[in-house]
Amino acid sequence: MTSIDYDNASPVPSAATAMSAPRLLVTDDDIVARGIIGKVGERAGFSITEATSYNEAANLLQKERFDCITLDLSLGSNYGLEVIHLLVDLDCKTPVIVISGAGQTVAKLAISIGRMKRLNMCEPVPKPVDFALLKGILARIKEDVRRQRAAAATP
């Protein structure tokens, strides 16, 4: 498996990178949920990339860098936990937001597993999507990205 060093993928961002919108990977097999999450992400100032399956998400995560990932725990014939295991294999430090209709107990269990594996797991967002909660989490992540980019651009 290819490893991506998310902490050092772009140590000194160009002016364009520093000014560009943070990137959000929306991973959900449901077109309506993906659209809603994407729209909230856009309104929060993120550039959106969508993955409709585990395979799409895996392909994107192995090739590209994202500033945040949203993850549904049910991806058709695959499970969000498979994506969590992939993120561990990639040594990913990107914030992950579990957005699931599986219930808070299941979401919290997935988050606990991710945290035990040293992933940057955010608080869960229930489905139907809690817009205010998701917007608040994304705003904090966007501010963290802005601070990291500013620190990396400072000589």
Domains of the chain, first to last: 19-146 (3.40.50.2300)
Under 8 Å between Cβ of 6 and 92: yes
What was the pLDDT predicted at 81? 87
Q: Which residues contact 87 (CB under 8 A, 6 or more apart)?
A: 61, 69, 94, 96, 114, 119
Is residue 2 predicted with pLDDT exceeding 70?
A: no
> What is residue 19's predicted lDDT score, i.e. its pLDDT?
64
Helix axes 54-63, 80-89, angle to 10 degrees: 20
Inform me whether the pLDDT recorded for 112 exceeds 70. yes
> What per-residue confidence (pLDDT) applies to 79?
81
Task: Report residue 40 as tokens.
Answer: 């909230």
Q: What is the mean pLDDT of the chain?
A: 88
Calpha distance 5→48 (Å, rounded): 21
Place of tokens 């957005």: 99
User: What is the structure's pLDDT at 118?
Assistant: 97
Taking the complete model, does pTM exceed 0.75, yes or no?
yes
